[in-house]
């Protein structure tokens, strides 16, 4: 039995099957991400003072902004690819959609770089109460070596700036700057004195800490803080959508492209529907980028 | 909008001109992404004496504007069939309800915290 309205539109609605289906699916997707955005709001509002990162301090802005531009480019190439098919220009469609797939790879590459940066970034509390924050170089049973870049601003801690202006300004520190110790759940330690040796000097470069002197060690993964938990959840789910969307677009673009010869109208419909999903992925990122990276 | 597909463009330049609405939206989205980043670099509340949460409000307004452009032009909601509008109407209703409940819960938060503590 042949399924009706896979190519031609149904007369009463003016829509073919897949178009209705994708919009119903996108409706459910809106509610899925809506629930997570709602969770984000509640977690942010309910976060104890000083535990939510300062705007633009926890994540690097440039990769996020770059990825936003990448998704916008891919969104326009998807719609231009569809328009090319409408004009019967299959070769042009192939080129546009190739750019879309390339954009998906670039996006995931940048995301992988960001995740790697967070998962190799560690905060260590020593038994003497001092806090050390840097990227893991190596670790074994005896010791942990991290590298500290005193001038780096990512990780939520603009070291020199914080120290210069606020290290001795504890009464304002709590409301203006995130207290690293609040992340780590360490009680009784105030201020922002971290990556400081016993002589009070700020350390720059590699530091090796014996395991016996470590009271607590954690990387900047989802378990590190509420913010990073919702960050990884939201961006992880979004990244899955990017992978899924790119896979479908690739399949239609490559292995399933023969349909253009046998049933061009249905093929155009497939391109349109996959494009609608891709635009939704872009749409979600439009909100994720400012909420997680900037505000 | 790519509404007229009966007269195919002769070359790529003509194609882009024919689809210029997409190109205009594309440029607008990029410009407003830049504006979003620029706004985040300043503290509107303290440096410009604006209201509490001005950065967040403006950031979300721009994001909503960008999302609207994507929906209207790239997803063709500017000229869709009635059934699609119906589906989106229901979605809008439930999404707004969800956010409304979130705000309601937000306003209740300190009271509830005190109660349970």
DSSP states of B31-100 as a string?
HHHHHHHHHHTS-HHHHS---TTHHHHHHHHHHHHHHHHIIIIIS-GGG--HHHHHHHHHHHHHHHHHHH
Nearest-by-CA chain B residue for A83 = B2
- The shortest CB-CB distance from A286 to any of B15, B63, B113 is to B63
Cβ contact A177:A54 at 8 Å: yes
Per-residue model confidence (pLDDT) at position A177: 39
Three-state DSSP class for residue A208: strand
Per-residue model confidence (pLDDT) at position B11: 83
Instruction: Indicate whether B2 pLDDT > 80.
Output: no
Of chain B, the end-to-end C-alpha distance in Å amounts to: 57
Q: What are the pLDDT digits (tens) for A44-84? A: 888 877 778 877 778 899 999 999 999 999 999 999 999 99
> What does the alpha-carbon distance between residue A53 and residue B33 come to, in Å, rounded to a whole number?
22
Read off the pLDDT of each residue in B90-111 and give the average, rounded to a whole number.
Answer: 87
Interfacial B residues in 92-111 facing A (CB < 8 Å): 94-95, 98-99, 101-102, 105-106, 109
| CA-to-CA separations, B10 to A88, A97, A159, A260, B13, in angstroms, rounded | 12, 20, 58, 21, 8
Per-residue model confidence (pLDDT) at position A276: 98
Low-confidence ranges of chain A (pLDDT < 70): 150-193
Per-residue model confidence (pLDDT) at position A114: 96
Instruction: Give yes or no for A294 touching B (CB within 8 A).
Output: yes
Using CB atoms within 10 A of its CB, is residue A285 exposed (0-12), middle (13-18) or buried (19+)?
buried
Determine the length of chain A: 295
> What does the alpha-carbon distance between residue B101 and residue B95 come to, in Å, rounded to a whole number?
10
Per-residue model confidence (pLDDT) at position A56: 76
In sequence order, the 6+-apart residues with CB closer than 8 A to the CB of A115 are A232
> What does the alpha-carbon distance between residue B78 and residue A176 come to, in Å, rounded to a whole number?
44
Structure tokens at A185: 């759940």
Whether residue A276 and residue B75 make contact (CB cut-off 8 A), yes or no, is yes
Read off the pLDDT of each residue in B59-88 and give the average, rounded to a whole number.
Answer: 95
Interfacial B residues in 52-81 facing A (CB < 8 Å): 55-56, 59-60, 62-63, 66-67, 70-71, 74-75, 81
Half-sphere exposure of A189 (CA within 13 A, CB side): 18
Per-residue model confidence (pLDDT) at position A180: 54
Q: What is the pLDDT confidence band of residue B58, given thresholds at 50, 70 and 90?
A: very high
The mean-pLDDT minimum among A222-226, A257-261, B11-15, B50-54 falls in: B11-15
Read off the pLDDT of each residue in B67-82 and give the average, rounded to a whole number.
Answer: 95
Q: pTM (2 decimals)?
A: 0.87
> What does the alpha-carbon distance between residue A163 and residue A156 come to, in Å, rounded to a whole number?
13
Q: Where is pLDDT greater, at A287 or B103?
A: A287
User: Chain A residues with CB inside 8 Å of B2's CB?
Assistant: 79, 82-83, 86
User: Chain B residues with CB inside 8 Å of A14's CB?
Assistant: 81, 83
Supply the angle between the helices A90-119 and A61-86 in degrees, to the nearest 10. Answer: 160
> What does the alpha-carbon distance between residue A158 and residue A58 come to, in Å, rounded to a whole number?
10
Per-residue model confidence (pLDDT) at position B46: 87
Determine the length of chain B: 117
Per-residue model confidence (pLDDT) at position B3: 52
Residue A39 has a CB neighbour count (10 Å cut-off) of: 15
Q: Where is pLDDT greater, at B17 or B4?
A: B17
User: Chain B residues with CB inside 8 Å of A72's CB?
Assistant: 26, 29-30, 33
Per-residue model confidence (pLDDT) at position A216: 87
């Amino acid at each position: 039995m042949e399924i009706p309205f896979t190519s031609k539109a149904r007369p009463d609605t003016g829509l073919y099957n897949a178009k209705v289906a994708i919009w119903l699916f996108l409706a459910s997707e809106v509610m899925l991400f809506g629930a997570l955005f709602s969770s984000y709001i509640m977690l942010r509002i309910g976060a104890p003072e000083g535990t939510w990162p300062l705007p633009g301090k926890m994540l690097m802005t440039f990769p996020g902004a770059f990825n936003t531009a990448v998704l916008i480019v891919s969104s326009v190439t998807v719609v231009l690819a569809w328009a090319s098919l409408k004009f019967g220009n299959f070769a042009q469609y192939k080129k546009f959609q190739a750019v879309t797939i390339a954009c998906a790879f670039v996006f995931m590459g940048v995301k992988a770089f960001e995740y790697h940066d967070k998962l190799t970034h560690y905060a260590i509390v020593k038994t003497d109460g001092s806090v050390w924050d840097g990227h893991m170089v190596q670790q074994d049973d005896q010791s942990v070596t991290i590298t500290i870049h005193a001038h780096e601003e990512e990780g939520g801690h603009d070291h020199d700036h914080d120290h210069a202006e606020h290290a001795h300004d504890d009464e304002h520190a709590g409301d203006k700057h995130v207290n690293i110790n609040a992340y780590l759940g360490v009680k009784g330690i105030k201020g922002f004195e971290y990556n400081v040796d016993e002589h009070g000097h700020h350390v720059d470069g590699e530091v090796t800490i014996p395991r016996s002197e470590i009271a607590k060690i954690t990387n900047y993964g989802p378990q590190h803080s509420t913010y990073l938990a919702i960050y990884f959840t939201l961006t992880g789910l979004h990244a899955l959508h990017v992978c899924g969307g790119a896979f479908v677009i690739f399949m239609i673009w490559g292995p399933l492209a023969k349909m253009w010869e046998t049933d061009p109208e249905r093929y155009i419909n497939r391109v349109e529907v996959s494009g609608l999903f891709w635009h939704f992925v872009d749409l979600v990122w439009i909100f994720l980028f400012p909420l997680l990276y900037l505000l | 909008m790519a509404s007229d597909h009966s007269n195919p463009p002769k070359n790529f330049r003509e194609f882009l001109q024919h689809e210029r609405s997409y190109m205009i939206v594309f440029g607008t989205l990029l410009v407003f992404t830049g504006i979003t980043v620029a706004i985040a670099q300043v503290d509107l509340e303290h440096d410009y004496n604006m209201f509490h949460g001005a950065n967040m409000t403006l950031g979300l307004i721009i994001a909503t504007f960008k999302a609207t452009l994507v929906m209207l032009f790239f997803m063709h909601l500017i000229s869709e069939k009635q059934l699609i509008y119906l589906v989106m109407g229901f979605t809008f209703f439930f999404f707004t309800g969800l956010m409304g409940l979130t705000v309601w819960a937000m306003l209740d938060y300190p009271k509830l915290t005190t109660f349970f503590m």
